[in-house]
Chain A
């Protein structure tokens, strides 16, 4: 790992003032679990790191008018174990509890989790792909076992975050600051498709910092689950995951949110699956139909067609567990 300048900013404004106009010359570091891997592998060689985990503007879980405000530097372990999040936004607590290992959750933050870079092995091995400023996705005609089946192209990475699908299902808002200016972005618009920007996974500008997540309470009477399918049982990045949130009244689904992780370059809201459920009883037939609808339009690559039936099965299983 090359060396770099480092100074702990006292305030959010100080931190933002250290950021420049380019993404890679100055980097933010919060939990650092992803950043350190990138630096050790020379994926990025910044002149300066700006630490933000200690900033008081980024701490805490507080009630808001519509739900909760969660500081971006909140540890994943604290989110997974928070009573108030378990009550008001259980799918988020479940997803946070599925991130990495206990140690990773003791180090990583929610802000870092939604801003982490892709796990694609071409990216991680420093191939000159879109993410490194090139104009090729080596997975397209290469080793694409773990790549996108939905919304892929020209880059076929999958978004690796567990908390992001849960936050999309809950309709969260991302609070962003550049020190002098603040803005709020609905989380579904925070993430971008490769067609919008193949180099980045979100709309953050080089001088911006995610400060907080506004998370509305799950609808009264709703039930939710986060299911994550991995190559091995205990921990890994998702082959496919689903954040499902369903409200059933009088035996009929009133409202459904189904968001997929690990299958598209951003958390993928399976709107067709939601439509397939609303107005139906939550049972084997509707769960199967929702699973099929979830992969509508899927275009698997040479080596990842298995993700289509896998995703169908995971969606179905998640929904049946809520019935």
Chain B
């Protein structure tokens, strides 16, 4: 699959197609043409595959560099390449908010951005906030107020809370409702999520 894609991706003859066709076609190629084709198409030892790109990303303060397919989403990069599985995939269509991370200071849906698009960026995930021994005040607030039921949406809720409180340390309940609106909770723990956000705001002021 990948090889076939690679061959189709370049308008000109790829190395593989050239070699495959070689046995039958070499005789037909004129001596003057052949060296030109070979020089132009034979890749260097490490060929630059146009369908792979090296992504540089700073995640929770650590710099990562990985070559990934261009179609790799940011959330796949975070979960599968970096093994940071605190960020969840819900709808995978920019609707539910489970995949929310903070990219360059803004909360975004990591399912609907390509890793290659955000190369050079700075990402914070739930793993970057606190640890079980030293909880971040927002995590503490969610536990204190039971701002969840099943917990699947929680890391996204917490990342949106972080983006909200970084921007607006003392939101009103209406501000919080609006700025948390991109994160759905199928258990419908909204009332307690809102209490958690307001409590987190107070804890962070203290």
Contacts and interface: CB of A to CB of B under 8 A. Distances in A.
Interface string A103-114: 110110000000
Interface string B1-40: 0100100110000000000000000000000000000000
A2 B117 CA distance: 16
Most B Cβ at <10 Å: residue of A5, A49, A53: A5
Contact of A4 (B51, B94, B109): B51
Contacts of A235: 181-182
A2 B94 contact: no
B182 to A, nearest CB: 3
Interface string A3-16: 11111000000000
Question: What band does the interface of chain B fall in when counting residues whose beta carbon is under 8 Å from A?
Answer: 20 to 34
A311 B70 CA distance: 43
B91 to A, nearest CB: 10
B112 interface: yes
Interface string A290-323: 0000000000000000000000000000000000
Q: Is the interface of B mostly helix, strand, loop or mixed?
A: mixed
Contacts of B160: 102-103
Given A40-B93, A103-B108, A51 B117 contact: yes
Interface residues of A, number: 28
Given A102-B179, A102-B182, A6 B70 contact: yes
A7 B9 CA distance: 13
Contacts of A32: 112-114, 117
Nearest to B112: A36
A4 B107 contact: no
A33 B50 CA distance: 23
B38 to A, nearest CB: 23
Given A103-B97, A104-B182, 7 more contacts: A3-B71, A5-B50, A32-B114, A36-B73, A36-B111, A100-B182, A107-B108
Interface of A: 1-7, 29, 32-33, 36-37, 39-40, 47, 49, 51, 53, 77, 100-104, 106-107, 234-235
